[in-house]
Amino acid sequence: MSRERVREEWQQVAQGWRRWEPMFESFSWPLALRMASAAAVGAGQRVLDVGCGVGDPTLQVAVLVGPHGRVLGIDIAEGMVAIARERAAALGLAHVEFRVDDITSAELPDAAFDVVLGRWSLIYLDDVPAVLERLRRALVPGGRIAVTAWAPLEVNPWFLVPHEALARLGPVPPLDVSVPGLFHLSMDGALARALVAAGFQTVGQERVVLSQLVRDGAEFWRMVTDTGGPLGPLIARLSPTDAGAVAADVAARLERYRAGEVLRIPAQAQLAWGRA
């Protein structure tokens, strides 16, 4: 997947992420906490967040390092970075900097950071080993890294359900976990092996369970259509009749996750960590 295509996809959906910010934050907070714990983030540290999007987990980590620490978040989509800056200003986090940059070519001084984080960013890279080696050099000796990917498709119904509903109307592109994309590096151990190959030590990996909270299937479908991702182009091509049919199908299949007045849709992510 070309870097320009990745940038365009995320740039196009930035405003959707602004609208659904509270939902995404409630969805992903367990992963942000586990990343910070696995990387032993503490007061006064210098942290680099690769592929920061609208500022997660950059902002959570900025709270942990405190005003004497420094946090840099980089992302290739200008629209996402603009929202991240707004959020940081609203929280008074003056020790956070956001920069529009590409991790494959960004200037990273050697030994400039104590911690590197990358949440759902490595999965879009063509040359993961090369980027991980760059990140290892950017860490101080003994510095920590924590990176994530999605777990396999079958434990992520937030994507599986709409994907299968769309497939009922016609062919959909296959999900090849061996190439850059949403479920790249999703297999157990894949992230850990990449870290070891890049020279990291004391490497570990685990799955983190998440839960997406929505009021109902209709709200879930509005979020999916607003925030795009790999399903965005497929949804955009649907006729109004077909879009309505897919939305109804998705809503009906998500009812299995009802908990009283809401739906709690399960998800899982992969988390791996190591030391430089």
Question: Per-residue pLDDT tens for 184-202?
Answer: 999 999 999 999 999 999 9
Question: Per-residue pLDDT tens for 37-86?
Answer: 999 999 999 999 999 999 999 999 999 999 999 999 999 999 999 999 99
Residue 26 scores a pLDDT above 70: yes
Task: Over range 218-222, report the average pLDDT.
Answer: 94
Phi, psi of 69 (to 5 degrees): -95, 175
Residue 5 scores a pLDDT above 80: no
Residue 11 scores a pLDDT above 80: no
pLDDT at 148: 98
Task: Over range 122-141, report the average pLDDT.
Answer: 96
Domains and CATH numbers, the chain: 3-156+175-214+268-275 (3.40.50.150)
Q: Percentage of residues in the chain with pLDDT exceeding 70?
A: 98
pLDDT at 19: 86
HEC states along 182-244?
Answer: CCCCCCCCHHHHHHHHCCCEEEEEEEEEEEEEECCHHHHHHHHHHHCHHHHHHHHCCCHHHHH
Give the mean pLDDT of the chain. 93
pLDDT at 92: 97
Q: Is the peptide bond before 57 cis (omega within 30 degrees of 0)?
A: yes
Task: Over range 2-7, report the average pLDDT.
Answer: 74
Structure tokens at 174: 């296959």
Contacts of 126 (CB under 8 A, 6+ apart): 1, 180
Structure tokens at 271: 């988390």
The pTM of the full predicted model, rounded to 2 decimals, is 0.94
Question: Per-residue pLDDT tens for 133-185?
Answer: 999 999 999 999 999 999 999 999 999 999 999 999 888 888 888 899 999 99
pLDDT at 1: 55
